[in-house]
């Protein structure tokens, strides 16, 4: 039994030695965030003079193309090097034609942003749900979301995005075989060097709610559970990632991030290509809501969360906090 004054210094480790000063803590810090880790999402929409606040995502806007450069320039000024574009089209139909129209909102945005900022990594989200009137990510027949029938449309979308200047294609639709089909389609069209950042592991998550407000992409009937994954499954995530490896994905996205840090770690340990954590809309909005109430310290919470994604094994983080975090890194 220990008594005050006993010499116990040899019987335990003094972990606190490495925590004594800020510079000592920085020296031994294992996980560090960098601006180049971040991918910043931008919502582009048809129309003019639009900077439309997304109610459920304070600080996030829908932009028309005549105004979007304000947002792009702000991100560039803060040191962001990678953007992902989400389109909110003026018209929708059953087969999502505006997704693969060469004059679609995303294609026009890609051409414009690429010509103004050729140095950026411009990523195109490749999906149909914002462009279909039923809001599903594939073709629907008699209430069924058809797999193989959807692939051709996704390939057309990806190729038209590459033609418009996308540096990276990020298919998020979760049809089986989409990575293989898109890789093949890009190669056939001469875009051998355009990488595929596949949403390899995408769960049917309740955390996407605010995004669906921002992108007008809610399914009009049913849900996405026949194509997105069951949150309870880990082995299935490994199978999805294995398929994507075999199909030629260049990056693996795990989405959402925070409730799936174990999956990020699993994918990191098994694959040797960059892993992207998608810090989704609901994860953003919860922090915004709590900090607006004064219940949490927004900056500290955001940096802790982003750090946790990297510690779990993510190389890159797709996050609505990218601009803020870039500024906070400069201030640190």
C-beta of 107 vs 217, nearer to ligand PBG:
217
Do 50 and 92 meet the contact criterion of CB atoms below 8 Å apart? no
* Binds ligand PBG by CB under 6 A, chosen from 258, 280, 287, 329: 280
Exposure of 276 in the CB half-sphere (CA atoms within 13 A): 26
Return the number of other C-beta atoms located less than 10 Å from residue 128's C-beta.
27
Tokens coding 155: 């390939």
Of 3, 146, 225, 255, the active-site residue reads 255
Residue 212 interacting with ligand PBG (CB under 6 A): yes
Of 92, 202, 288, 310, the active-site residue reads 202
CB of 131 to ligand PBG, least distance (A): 10
**Eight-class DSSP state of 230:** P
C-beta of 6 vs 155, nearer to ligand PBG:
155
Identify the CA nearest to 46 among candidates 93, 3, 109. 109
Identify the CA nearest to 192 among candidates 162, 155, 170, 153. 162
**Eight-class DSSP state of 7:** -
Query: Under DSSP, is residue 320 helix (H, G, I), strand (E, B) or coil?
Result: coil
* Binds ligand PBG by CB under 6 A, chosen from 62, 172, 179, 319: 172
C-beta of 64 vs 173, nearer to ligand PBG:
173
**Is 146 among the residues known to form the active site?**
no
Angstrom distances, CA of residue 259 to CA of 161, 190, 206, 262 = 31, 38, 11, 8
Contact pattern from residue 126 through residue 145 relative to ligand PBG, giving x for each residue in contact according to CB under 6 A and a dash for the rest? -x-x-------x--------
**Eight-class DSSP state of 196:** B
* Binds ligand PBG by CB under 6 A, chosen from 134, 136, 183, 224: 224
CB of 201 to ligand PBG, least distance (A): 13
Residue 95 interacting with ligand PBG (CB under 6 A): no
Residue 175 interacting with ligand PBG (CB under 6 A): no
Which one of the spans 58-66, 105-113, 125-133, 258-266 is the region binding ligand PBG (CB under 6 A)? Answer: 125-133
301/90 Cα distance (integer angstroms) = 37
**Eight-class DSSP state of 195:** -
C-beta of 116 vs 226, nearer to ligand PBG:
226
Which one of the spans 18-26, 110-118, 124-132, 269-277 is the region binding ligand PBG (CB under 6 A)? Answer: 124-132
3-state DSSP helix/strand/coil % of the chain, to nearest 5? 40, 20, 40
Which one of the spans 1-9, 111-119, 122-130, 188-196 is the region binding ligand PBG (CB under 6 A)? Answer: 122-130
Give the CA-trace dihedral at 132, 113, 61, 282, to 10 degrees. Answer: 70
Which one of the spans 63-71, 145-153, 208-216, 257-265 is the region binding ligand PBG (CB under 6 A)? Answer: 208-216
**Eight-class DSSP state of 203:** B
**Is 202 among the residues known to form the active site?**
yes
Question: Where on the chain is the footprint of ligand PBG (CB under 6 A)?
Answer: 125, 127, 129, 137, 172-173, 208, 211-212, 217, 224, 280-281
Return the active site residues. Answer: 202, 255
């Amino acid at each position: 039994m220990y008594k005050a004054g006993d010499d116990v210094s040899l019987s335990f480790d003094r972990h606190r030695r490495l925590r004594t000063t800020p510079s000592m803590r920085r020296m031994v810090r294992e996980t560090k965030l960098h601006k180049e880790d971040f991918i910043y999402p931008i919502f582009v929409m048809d129309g003019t003079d639009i900077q439309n606040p997304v109610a459920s995502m304070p600080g996030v806007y829908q932009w028309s193309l005549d105004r979007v450069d304000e947002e792009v320039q702000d991100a560039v000024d803060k040191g962001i090097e990678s953007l992902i574009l989400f389109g909110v089209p003026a018209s929708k139909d059953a087969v999502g034609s505006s997704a693969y129209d060469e004059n679609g909102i995303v294609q026009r945005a890609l051409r414009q942003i690429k010509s103004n900022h050729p140095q950026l990594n411009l990523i195109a989200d490749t999906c149909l749900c914002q462009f279909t009137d039923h809001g599903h990510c594939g073709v629907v027949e008699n209430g069924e979301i058809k797999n193989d029938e959807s692939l051709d449309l996704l390939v057309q979308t990806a190729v038209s995005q590459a033609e418009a200047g996308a540096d990276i294609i990020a298919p998020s639709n979760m049809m089986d075989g989409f990575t293989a089909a898109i890789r093949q389609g890009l190669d056939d069209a001469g875009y051998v060097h355009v990488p595929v950042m596949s949403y390899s592991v995408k769960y049917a998550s309740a955390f996407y709610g605010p995004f669906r407000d921002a992108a007008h992409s809610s399914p009009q009937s049913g849900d996405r559970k026949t194509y997105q994954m069951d949150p309870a499954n880990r082995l299935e995530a490994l199978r999805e990632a294995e398929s994507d490896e075999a199909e030629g994905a260049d990056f693996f996205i795990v989405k959402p991030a925070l409730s799936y840090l174990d999956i990020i770690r699993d994918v990191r340990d098994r694959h040797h290509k960059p892993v992207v954590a998608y810090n989704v809309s609901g994860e953003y909005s919860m922090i915004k809501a709590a900090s607006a109430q004064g219940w949490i310290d927004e900056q500290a919470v955001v940096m802790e969360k982003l750090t946790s994604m990297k510690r779990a094994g993510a190389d890159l983080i797709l996050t609505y906090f990218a601009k803020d975090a870039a500024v906070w890194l400069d201030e640190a």
